[in-house]
Amino acid sequence: MKINLFKTAILLIAIVLVNKLNAQLIVNVGQTPTQLVQNVLVGGGVLVNNVTFVGSTTGTYRQIGEFSNGSTTNLGINAGVVISSGNVSVIPNASSQQLDQNYGSSGDADLAQLLGTSISNSYDAAILEFDFQPLSNTVSFKYVFGSEEYNDYVNSNFNDVFGFFISGPGITGPFSNNSANIALIPFTTTPVAINNVNNGGPVSGCATGPCTNCTYYIDNCSGGTIIYDGFTTALTATANVQPCQWYHIKLAVSDIYDGVFDSGVFLEANSFSSDAVNLSSYYTNPSLGLNAIEGCSDGLISFTLNNPATVNDTIFYTISGTATNGIDYTTIPSYVIIPAGFDSTSIIINAVMDGLTEGTETVILHVQTSSCGTQDITLNITDNTPILATVTADQTICDGNQPVNFSVAASGGVAPISLLWSNGLGSSANISTSPLVGITTYTVTATDACGATKTDSILITVNPTPTATFTAQSPICAGLPSSIVYTGTPGATMTWNLNGATILSGTPSSGNFGITWNAAGTYAITLSVTNSEGCISTLETHYIQVLGAGTPNCCIAPTPDAGPDLQFCGLSGNFQAITPDDPSYVGTWTQITGPGISNYGDIHLINSTISVSLPGTYTYQWNEVNGPCDSADVVSILFIQNPIANAGPDSSLCGLNYSMLAQPSSGIGTWSGTGITSPSNPNSNVTVIAYGTYTYVWTENNNGCLSTDTVLIDFLQVPNANAGTDGTGCGFS
């Protein structure tokens, strides 16, 4: 044929315009023809041998290879084997042309006969042949035919051709060895060729019709991702055969009339198949191993046809193995049915967790995969036991004995086992924590690799530890009483060591009692306390100094009482201590704390008026003296600054609206009176509905200390002046 210069120019422009890297077919020429047939082309239900290939398989130009990545293109087939009358390596180059020089090889007589021409007009034939044995009554495969002859040489003598010629039992055809061509336009006996499938032509560039069988044609004239300017849709070649018999097939493509523009045929991977049953095994938890696990990972055996069943297909099998059907796994039948229109079904081997140690057991299916073949498939079942999680025993401790330590022992299930504690304790098996007083529950969840879980809990009870605090009067005189007052935990059992003291009043078990010693010295009193939970306090110790009877300081100490805490409005107030039991005791007031200076007047008066310089809380001590013995008591006095309410001046106005003019001081103020709109606003608006004089009270409150002021507002009516009507007169009066 002749090279079309216009077409070449269009393709050169396409080099610039088409980004071929976005999606590109991949062609690999690393495998031999035998490997390509056995590893790539052939699917299930077919046995093959005696693979041969006529064409170039070495050097730069090779006529057979493996393609992939077709799903990113418009080819219609993702992967498979490609054979061509040209160099297959250039097929992915959409911006170029497949126009190899003539290989010098001859054509093929069957291809020439297919077009009704002489073999001398057939060039560069690529012929893949092999014997095969189908395991069912049909064999089929998917293919796409493409050519550089599109669209320039459509309906010309440059009608590159391909064919799939099958021969064997029951096959009768006009080609060599009585073979028949099964590369046909669907539902016809017409072979697939350039002049039989196209969108019209000849034409340079894209064709617009009239088309021939263009339902099966893809116009690729504008480039895209494959070198051919046109190719067919994905078609299926099918032949009726006799199961278990040997057949021969020849897959051939050649140039016609010259060896320049080339053509190729794409054969889908694994599509050369028959409808024998294919067996596969799967597992629901394959990461745990390729076996079923009792109560964890199911096994699944799939039965798959290469093509959907035309009628319900019943597949029988026998069951054997060391595992017992219905006991070691849920019952499965002795057959499966693939419904019409479907190509697969499956059975589930659900291994039962029986708690027995049986070792690895097997399930074996002996399947009639075709009329002339059987296949065994084996599933292993491994043992499993329920997961266990046991936490150490509950604990009871006394507060202060933290931390507590506990742990969990997990077993059974399928390794690995993960742990998760509540209360944020993490995932360790050994825990150390410090709970608060009360009862705390810690729960652990153990989860095995199958997702089975087991929980267990521990209760940690932390009982409060009692306090053993008490007060004891010291120093005291020998023979005179000392008071013991218990201030620790109520309701506890007390253990005293009174160091030889005589109990004068009360009982130690109550915690409030009086004691004395007859001899001078320093005596230690100790106390420990045990509560109802058995928790023991730390030992509390007080040292009592006992003075001899002749000691000058050995006297009866007074018991002063400064009176209750008080609160005054203003910066002065009158308060008094409680009169002492003995009028001979001498008392004085002193200031202990306060933000300002106090003025007492006579500091010796029990009933005293005290003024301060600043508001705030003051602490005063009343000290009573009995000779060398003295004692003191304190009182807290809060002086609150009195507010000074100022409602503003009296006023009168024309109208019914007025804005008040209170002057706030130290308190929170509120208005009362007629028509106040914002009582807490010193400058609140007032609106009345009748003229007259109104009284308003401004009250300020500083922490309970009140002050009020009154203002009078006279609302006056605005007069309505009326001068009469306008008029006209004669003269000046």
* Residue-level pLDDT at 584: 64
Mean pLDDT to the nearest integer, 552-571: 79
Residue 688: pLDDT over 70: yes
* Residue-level pLDDT at 477: 84
Q: Report the residue count for the chain.
A: 733
Task: Please write down the HEC assignment for all residues of 159-223.
Answer: CCEEEEEEECCCCCCCEHHHEEECCECCCCCCECECCCCECCCCCCCCCCCCCECHHHEEECCCC
- Cα separation of 143 and 663, whole Å? 102
* Residue-level pLDDT at 188: 93
Q: How confident is the model at residue 204 (pLDDT cuts 50, 70, 90)?
A: confident
Tokens 């480039």 correspond to 223
Q: What is the pTM of this model?
A: 0.47
Mean pLDDT to the nearest integer, 328-356: 93
431-467 burial, b if ≥16 CB within 10 A, otherwise e? bebebeeeebebebbbbbbbebebebebebbbbebbb
* Residue-level pLDDT at 591: 84
Of residues 477 and 197, which shows the higher confidence score? 197
* Residue-level pLDDT at 15: 37
CA 255 centroid distance within chain: 61
Residue 221: pLDDT over 50: yes
Of the listed ranges 334-343, 358-367, 718-727, the one predicted with least confidence? 718-727
669-708 burial, b if ≥16 CB within 10 A, otherwise e? bbbebebbeeeeebebebebeeeeebebebbbbbeebebe
Of residues 103 and 615, which shows the higher confidence score? 615
* Residue-level pLDDT at 721: 80
With residue 34 as reference, give the H or E element that holds it. Answer: helix 33-35
CB atoms < 10 A from the CB of 326, how many?
A: 9
* Residue-level pLDDT at 4: 40
CB atoms < 10 A from the CB of 5, how many?
A: 9
Average pLDDT, the chain: 87
Q: How confident is the model at residue 645 (pLDDT cuts 50, 70, 90)?
A: confident
Of the listed ranges 478-487, 507-516, 543-552, 611-620, the one predicted with least confidence? 543-552
Residue 626: pLDDT over 80: no
> pLDDT (tens digit, 9 = 90+) per residue, 171-188?
999 999 999 999 999 999
Q: How confident is the model at residue 7 (pLDDT cuts 50, 70, 90)?
A: very low
- Cα separation of 104 and 111, whole Å? 17
Contact predicate 197/217, CB 8 Å: yes
Q: How confident is the model at residue 8 (pLDDT cuts 50, 70, 90)?
A: very low
- Cα separation of 25 and 48, whole Å? 28
Residue 552: pLDDT over 80: no
- Cα separation of 5 and 505, whole Å? 132
Highest mean pLDDT: which of 204-218, 410-424, 603-617?
Answer: 410-424
User: Would strands 292-293 and 373-382 be described as parallel, antiparallel, or unpaired?
Assistant: parallel
* Residue-level pLDDT at 550: 63
Q: How confident is the model at residue 629 (pLDDT cuts 50, 70, 90)?
A: low
DSSP 472: E
* Residue-level pLDDT at 576: 77
Written as one letter, the residue type at 341 is: G
With residue 113 as reference, give the H or E element that holds it. Answer: helix 109-115
* Residue-level pLDDT at 9: 38
* Residue-level pLDDT at 23: 64
Of residues 277 and 428, which shows the higher confidence score? 428
